[in-house]
Amino acid sequence: MLGVLVGMKQEARIIRRFLPDAPIALSNATASGAVAGAERLLRAGATRLLSFGCAGGLSTSVKPGTIIVADCVVMTGTSYEADAGLSKQFGADHARQGRIFHSDSLIETAEEKSRLYETTGCIAVDMESGAIARTGKPFAVLRVVCDDSSRNLPPAARDGLKDGAIHLGGLLSSLVRQPSQIPALIELGKDAAMAQKAMALFLEAHPPQL
């Protein structure tokens, strides 16, 4: 049985359309949530795992909307190879392939993104893939780039999240404290919406072959 780990509720809604019977666990974009989510999937009987959702770009070669099926996950200096057969079932032949970096926290600055790309060779980063890779179960990673490697994340991207969804109170408080971030937040929102649409279109064109 396949289990799916996602960070946000919107990501869960997208993949549910294509995997209606698979158990889906939510990390709420936290390190502890990712580990707990992977454990819940194993307890539910999952024997194969998928890390699904958005990723942050680390390489200038991946722009928002780029679909990535990772060939390996890098976490704390260790590389975990994705299962080639499962990756193929999730469209590896039609997506960008490369290394994904797992981080326990948001990578917020362009400088840090560039440094990670130079030191790890990973083209993108997420907060869930390491948790499933470390289970030892066969896994695949299907991600879409949601933010550009050349741009800093506005603080509201962090402050406006709670329990896997947009937290309006935190978002507004962040904007009141730092209104100058509004243009960057608008651009991020446009990129995220475009990326989610790109993922849905990819899955429609290349539905999971399970």
The answer to whether residue 93 sits within a structural domain is yes
The answer to whether residue 50 sits within a structural domain is yes
The HSE-up count of residue 194 (CA atoms within 13 Å, CB side) is 14
The CATH number of whichever domain residue 98 belongs to comes to: 3.40.50.1580
What count of other Cβ atoms lies within 10 Å of the Cβ of residue 51?
30
Residue pointed to by tokens 């991600």? 143
The answer to whether residue 160 sits within a structural domain is no
**How many domains are contained in the chain?**
1
The answer to whether residue 180 sits within a structural domain is no
Please choose, from the candidates 208, 5, 6, the residue with its C-alpha nearest in 3D space to the C-alpha of residue 91: 208
Compare 199 and 169 and report the one with higher pLDDT: 199
167 phi and psi, to 5 degrees? -110, 105
The tens digit of pLDDT for each residue in 145-193 reads 999 998 887 765 665 565 655 656 656 566 667 777 777 777 888 888 9
User: Strand 161-162 to strand 139-147: parallel, antiparallel, or no bridges (unpaired)?
Assistant: unpaired
Query: Domain of 38?
Result: 2-151+198-205
C-alpha span between 29 and 147 (Å, rounded): 15
pLDDT of residue 169: 61
The tens digit of pLDDT for each residue in 62-99 reads 999 999 999 999 998 899 999 999 999 999 999 999 99
The answer to whether residue 18 sits within a structural domain is yes
The answer to whether residue 99 sits within a structural domain is yes
The answer to whether residue 84 sits within a structural domain is yes
